[in-house]
A and B are shown apart, each in its own frame.
Chain A
């Protein structure tokens, strides 16, 4: 599909002295990367330092990590309809600062992105205002109503990268069955939320913590039942299916079994569910009210195991901007969700620093794996691939402050958190869209 960055990419940039990490090939070594006209032209040791034309610059990476830009497959944006929470422009700034070079925008907007014209609107707005690639996902059901299929063919033709009802679970099994069947004809990917609505009336994980806080719980079975049902439907229809955001240990077993059975399924998890648990809610902190809810530590550990063994494919920010009106409320009355684009890499690196998941595997779940699943060419450092890259220091310590966030909403679960590892530079199509140092190249 057409690239959405508006102006022409710079002609030549040479990134020298980098620790190159490419999760797709598993390469981890020292070298240089030459970028020409927005694409990676050459990767190697000691590439010639003299450029061909006038628009040529050398960027010294000083031994820091150069990796593919992050691909975030679950991001909620306020525009259109909720611009006070987040606009396409503000989400792009946040993404650039977080090292996210491509993001999939969920269709839960007002109006809902359920029509080819609205997909075109998002792409047009993104082309004008965004520094990163914003890839719209289209609604599975018209108006997210959960009853009538939207026009998958036309939506895909207009540029929708996936079909999803966003944060809503498709409760109607017949609709899900038809959607999986019909989407197969267009090779479209169904991305599904998996929270059985009739069991999801609570506001946090069901269990002792919820009982102690006097809050209604969401049992793990709400997710397990929805996911099991979908696995049966995938087996029945041979559809392409991605579970957007899982949270329980049993879900990991279900996905593993489905993959072993040869189904075309993949699974994602939000970084919050991989790094936090229900105890973090503490005294009713609404910024930890998330969907799916933060669950027990045993669930978190099982998901880390699944990340290592490959059952879990993708890490997402689940970026969901909410303003004070929806968050500064009693816990049970507040909205779900937290922003996450700007903390995605640093929070993910916690899994590496804690020695739970190897660095290349963490990066693969943030780059190559989602790119491949969405059919994108990015997410890798290879000659001919788009020059969407990040430069980061995997070790720099810093403290996240909500006032420093570029997102229009500041509902982060990581306020005051100590982080290790920080983005230095974000490059989209060879152009630096974010840099911690002022020398924009």
Chain B
């Protein structure tokens, strides 16, 4: 199995090294061939090759060559085939960014059902391909809405549970109540003797002073810098921080690096800082066991094969997976995605790459090797997967679930699953496992692992 794995990666490396340099990291996914798209669209619609060929006036064998990208296509023939398949020619030429497409569908799935019913889900791909700028805007706005929703929720929780704020509000309302009640008595139709008048005037005065003091205190509290914290979840803050350097933390490559200092200097606060410290500590351990220079050299020599690298350095498989995902950018390494989850399947770390992105909220597709690995701890999983759609991404995944060292008796082990993702591996004869992003936006109608129906219009 090990040799087979090395051979496959050898082929992957040989075929991909050049395009990587020519097209950049995102080129592999961006470069899709029109023939493949024609074939996928035709199969999606259940049309026979001969029928489409006849419609456009070419032989089935010529269409076969086109579909396998052995003949260039353009002009009138492309338009004719697009018409026969009922799609826009631009879809066959450029395709749509699969990640953007998924994000657009997710955005549609998050709005109310009335509006969602009006969204032309079936034309999302066309929209993403023809107007990528507008697609990006939809995605950005959806993310903004989600972030604002989280912020509102956080502020709402704060209003309900922050004892200092609750106390300040109570003080304010009590003072206002007393002032309102006393002033009503003073201006009421009933006559008051001078003593009562004086007492209620004094009460109003003292309550107005109290109101001023508590208002100032409350404003000061609300305007304090530490209340303007990023309200997104700590894990999102950490991932955003790590993504600035593509998950490579150069300062932690030093053997003397202190994770706590690093986290304190990050600018993150509270939970996010604590989380970053634990991530940094793990990074330092990985860096110590897999020194960067030697590791990069071995990556080249062993064609980025995780199993071979784990054997060479005598380290756990999961360390290699994390280390590969944190290789420095711009040094010719292929892009690697990473996902880490706990035994409950909750994502605790996720690094996206073109063609790969797992949703944290709403539940990811359970078919990913990341989750399969949990059912067989300590056993590495190597699996090629394919995402749905005409812009299908194929990804080579390496995963392993292992127990974290507890060194304590009678304590259940903390199991953690780690998955490394390599976009666009070379084609093999072994069919890729069909997976999705999440059920709501997955068109695979016959999936036995489906948790919930797909939104209307996703099925093609």
A and B held together in a complex? no
Residues of A in contact with B (beta carbons under 8 Å apart): none
